[in-house]
A and B are shown apart, each in its own frame.
Chain A
Amino acid sequence: MNNSKQFFLFLILIFVVFTGYSQKEITGQVFDHQNEKLSGATVLISKDSVSSILAYAISDVDGKFKIAVETDRDSLFLKVSYLGFETFKKTIGNEAQALNVKLSPSSQSLKEVLVKSEIIQQRGDTLSFSVAAFKGKNDRVIADVLKKLPGIDIRPNGQIYYKNEPIQNYYIEGLNLLEGRYSLANNNLSVEAVSKVEILENHQPVKVLDSLEFSERSSINIKLKKDVTLSGTATAGMGAAPLLWKTNVTPMIFTKKRQAIVTYQSNNTGNDVSGEIRNFSIKHSGSEFDIDKTDWLSIQNVSEPPFRAERWLDNNIHLGSLNILQHIKEDLDLKLNISYLNDYQQQDGSTQTRYFTPTDTIDVIENTNNAIFVSKLEGQLTFENNADKNYLKNQLEFNGFWNANRGFIDRPDAQIKQQLDNPFFGIKNDLRLLRTLGKQLITFDSNTGFTATNQDLLVQPGQFEAIFNDGDPYGEIRQLVSSKKIYTDNSAGFTKALGKFTLSPKFGFSIQNQQLDTDIFLENGEEVLDSDFKNRNQFVESSVYFKNAVSFESKDETWNLSLSTPLEFKSFRLEDENFEEQRGLDRLVFEPYFYVKKKLSAFWDANASAGLSYDFGKLQQLYYGFLLNGYRNLNRYNAPISEETQQNYSGGLNYRNPLKQLFLDASYSYNFTENNLLYSSNIGENGRTILEAVARDNSFDNHSFSAGGSKYFRKLKTTFKLNTSYNLLKRQQLLNNTMAEVKTRSFTLRGSVDAEISSWLIANYSGTSSTYTSGFGERDFQQIETQQHMIDLYFYPKENQYLSVSGEYYENSLSENGDNYFVNLGYQFTFSKPKMDLNINWQNILNTDAFTKAYNNQYYYVQSSYRLRPSQVLATLKFTF
């Protein structure tokens, strides 16, 4: 036994020695047919031509190889292969040797195999997101899902941005029912009805222009699950105290031929639902004129707090809206959108204003109580034919306002009533026509509009006694304003594709005629006949223009350039019958703008821009006769038409390092403006301001710096962010007939911390600190420091519920009671059957009754206090169908 073991050991030893001894080294070099060294050739050694490989080598840069072979066989089989050459095969002896191998070229292909073919789908500029994939447990309406999609941003006002640009159209099943008023669908269409959200990048909504005119805008298309969809939202909420209600009933129907959305919404909880019908349409041509409401007169307001309206807005709102689209035939749609809004808001607050003049300081203390009535009807009738060869869109739009405001001001020395009737009417028609003519495209645009307003401000008792009543008190003063506007803007051009570039020059002309009549009446309808207090203005602006733009992107996408070169001849004529005087101005303006962006390296990029622009006087700054704009503001512009030249330069640098999770950016901009008018403020007792414009060349320049950074700490699971900005503005100002250079500096520091403490707790903090300094010349007279700190905690005890706690603090160095504290609590529970959310919200737990803030302007500072909604609890039940 013992022997056999020894014998076995001996055998192993023998074997090891033997094999060790029998290891042969075969070396060699591989060449091609032209005697060039071949590297990367495989050299294989096997027992014979069919058996498996014993050893292998790969030829090096010099074509050399070296193989150690351990076998007791007499002969070996050598194979040398290289792609594109015939395999060299040879039987060699099992002994150390050096071989030179020469391969000859071969055109023979290698054997092919294919198990199955792969199918690749075709794709375009469409990003399509499955709603199911993005839908969270708490998502009810399509907006909830939309805002989660990468690149999509829904701003607080409801406007949708994609990659920082507003979207162009919001389609539902390819039809544009709501035009720009898409919030109504976005906030009420049930997520259950939607199968996909498509983001149409670089979407050209006009078919004729597709492939001719590159569009940088994106649009959104909502794809529904069913051909015929009946969907919507219903919400009911109650709360206290006072008695609160909230309701929203929004049914909608979508079929292939017809779409309709109807809504009725009402609440007194501070939710401003007018946002549901806010219009975010993007004008294609950028016409300067519009039918937006112009307010000539106003009552004294209190400035609104900087946080969500639900905390301070005392409203009583009703909104109704009807939207119908009829798909008449292929490419032809007719649609009607009508909305009516009625709101009654109350504002309570106090304002303390301190005016600084180079010679004096003047204080005004006002307790304000305002009632605001809003009544607004708006409608739109659209006819659109969007075919492959032709495009026609005609849109008729009207807006009517019957607004009225009542204001009551309590001052230490007086009580003042203000009553304002502020109706407004506007109608416009926009026509756009495109037609292909051979290989070119002819475009034609025509926009025409008309507005009218008769505004009436009554102030009791009468103000500016020294001017209107020889310094004696009197009963009332009434300002009447009648204004009309009519405009037309027409242009024609063509679009032609030239290789990668598309040329689209456009010629056009526009005329706008505005009429302004104002009169002041005193007690018993006594008219102020002095022509200094009347206006009979006619203002005509006309223009002939040629506009063009070029943009460029390098192939490797490191350079982006754009240049626009609009050239315009503008003419202004102002006539005032009252003064029998005429002012006019003719200017040829060239307003170039250049932008460049360069990717410097993997983590760095830089951008710069430069532009020149001109601005000319608007009628709002062109009346000779005094106008009582507010109870203590008497304004006139006794000067020529203002001309302003602006030069803008900016540059920025970005650094984004994902390795260190460090992100930095810095930018600087400079603006230099020259103006031919200066505004002179004469501030009298009680802050009564008389503003006049004086012809005097002046300039102001503004430097802005900003920088920011963020860093993520992997171990702490926490992100820190810090931003800072500095602004320096210098301008000339006439104050109580003294010329002063006003200098303002502001510095802001913002920071935040976001920490994921555990899987059921997330904490966020953010804070802002800013300093604002202003002064005349070298003298600083005012410095305000403000602080703002917020902390939010989110708890997730269970899947179907959450609890949130938030605290806020606002501080202002100017005001004695400038400390404001707020605490809010929120809780939501989701029922699965029927699918419903119960939300309980307790706002303003500390019952802070007023928000105090202070701010200053170049020559005054204001401390205001705004009455907030009291501590209140609101329970809301919401379901979507």
Chain B
Amino acid sequence: MRKLIIALLFLSLGNLQAQKSYTYKATYRLEYQEDSTDTNSIKSETGVLYLGKGHSRYSSLGKAVKDSLENMTNPVMMRMDEYNQMTSFKYTIFKDYQENELILAEKVFQYELKYIQDLKTIDWKIQPENKEILGFNVQKGLGSFAGRNYVAWFAPELPFLDGPYKFSGLPGLIVEISDLKNQYHFSLTGFQELKTPIKKLLNLDNYKTVSQEELDQVRDDYNRDPIGTMQKAGVKFGWSEEDEAKQKKELTKKYKERNNPIELQQ
């Protein structure tokens, strides 16, 4: 038994991947309109961008907190309701400038999925306009991405080709970015050096590689019918069919209100 355990321990250690370290952290506030037909359906959330040499990692704050709690030596599981309250965006985006690739990894219910795509998908047009945001000199750039046109403000003095979400490629960190309808608006709220560089365990081995279309579909299936998804995975609910039908109706209503994703087309 003991030998077996040791052997298994080695097996599990073999799965550890190269660790990448991050030395800076940028925090963004995201304001977005959940329902495209209702301009009052504005919600907000915090996003965190960890920056290292040639790579970065972006996620919502809720997701980042959950990851860091689960990566501690004595892992702490995050309360599910808190997690749900903290974030509606449960993906993590890894950008790698050496490989010129972007990985979006997301755990939809219990399914660990990821897709890989090219990094440079935005053809930025630099504008001569300047202004100051949070003490940084920023310059304007225009670009379009996934069906929306964006105005971005970047800070050349922060030598990162990065930004929140999938945005990248400007010669300086994106400090503010918004689509022209102002339905998705990211603005920097903090930029700090990390006193002790964070080494994030980056183990995406268990994540199944799928296409972006497939991942979006799985997420959509889950949002549309979380009860059904859980039931198919073996989670049982003790309610009657009447209760279930009622609950599904309520969730469908909520689902219909979430109709304005950041990416309108691929």
A residues whose Cβ falls under 8 Å from a Cβ of B: 39-44, 52-58, 61, 79, 81-84, 87, 109-116, 118, 120-121, 123-130, 133, 136-138, 144, 147-148, 150-155, 160-161, 163-164, 201, 550, 552, 554-556, 558-559, 561, 563, 599, 601-603, 656, 658-659, 661, 663, 710, 712, 714, 719, 756, 759, 762, 764, 792, 794, 796, 802, 804
Contact = CB atoms under 8 A, between A and B. Distances in A.
Contacts of A116: 189-190
Contacts of A602: 111-113, 206-208
Given A52-B129, A147-B243, A794-B245, A658 B111 contact: yes
A53 B221 contact: no
A550 B208 CA distance: 32
Contacts of B242: 794, 802, 804
B222 A658 contact: yes
B191 to A, nearest CB: 5
Nearest to A39: B98
Interface of B: 1, 4-5, 8-9, 11-13, 15, 23-24, 27, 46, 51, 53-54, 61, 65, 69, 76-82, 97-98, 108-113, 126, 128-130, 134-136, 139, 156-161, 169, 171-172, 188-193, 203, 206-208, 210, 214, 217-218, 221-222, 225, 228-230, 232-239, 241-243, 245-250, 252
Contacts of A661: 221, 232
Nearest to B99: A61
A554 B157 contact: no
Contacts of B189: 114-116
B86 to A, nearest CB: 9
5 contacts: A55-B126, A121-B82, A125-B77, A136-B247, A559-B12
Contact of B236 (A53, A84, A127, A153): A153
A860 B80 CA distance: 53
A126 B126 contact: no
A110 B24 contact: yes
B77 to A, nearest CB: 6
Contacts of B134: 113, 115
Contacts of A120: 65
A43 B171 CA distance: 8
A751 to B, nearest CB: 15
A552 B11 CA distance: 14
A200 to B, nearest CB: 11
B255 to A, nearest CB: 12
A171 B12 CA distance: 39
Contacts of B65: 120
B12 A555 contact: yes
Contacts of A126: 79
A558 B27 CA distance: 33
Contacts, number: 211
Contacts of B210: 659
Contacts of B243: 136, 138, 144, 147-148
A577 B128 CA distance: 110
Given A112-B193, A201-B77, 8 more contacts: A40-B97, A116-B190, A123-B77, A138-B246, A148-B239, A556-B12, A602-B113, A658-B109
Nearest to B191: A113
A160 B136 CA distance: 57
B171 A42 contact: yes
B232 A556 contact: no
Of residues A84, A115, A603, A792, which shows the largest number of chain B Cβ atoms within 10 Å of its Cβ? A115
Given A123-B82, A804-B242, A113 B77 contact: no
B156 A150 contact: no
Contact of A79 (B136, B156, B221): B156
B127 to A, nearest CB: 8
B229 A124 contact: no
A111 B157 contact: yes
Contact of B249 (A118, A151, A796): A796
Of residues B13, B79, B80, B234, which shows the largest number of chain A Cβ atoms within 10 Å of its Cβ? B79
B108 A658 contact: yes
A53 B154 CA distance: 11
A150 B161 contact: no
A476 to B, nearest CB: 49
A254 to B, nearest CB: 23
B159 A42 contact: yes
Contact of A118 (B24, B61, B76): B61
B218 A659 contact: yes
Given A56-B171, A659-B218, A155 B80 contact: no
Contacts of B111: 602-603, 656, 658
A210 B158 CA distance: 49
Contact of B54 (A39, A558, A759): A39
Contacts of A130: 81
A601 B208 contact: yes
Nearest to A559: B8
Given A53-B156, A602-B208, A148 B237 contact: yes
Contact of A53 (B126, B203, B222): B126
B171 A118 contact: no
A552 B208 contact: no
A127 B79 contact: yes
A111 B53 contact: no
A848 to B, nearest CB: 22
Contacts of A599: 206
Nearest to A763: B245
Contacts of A152: 237-238
A128 B78 CA distance: 11
Complex A-B, nearest 4 residue pairs according to Cβ-Cβ distance, in ascending order = A602-B208, A154-B238, A81-B159, A115-B189
Given A144-B243, A147-B239, A719 B228 contact: yes
A712 B245 contact: no
A790 to B, nearest CB: 10
A31 to B, nearest CB: 16
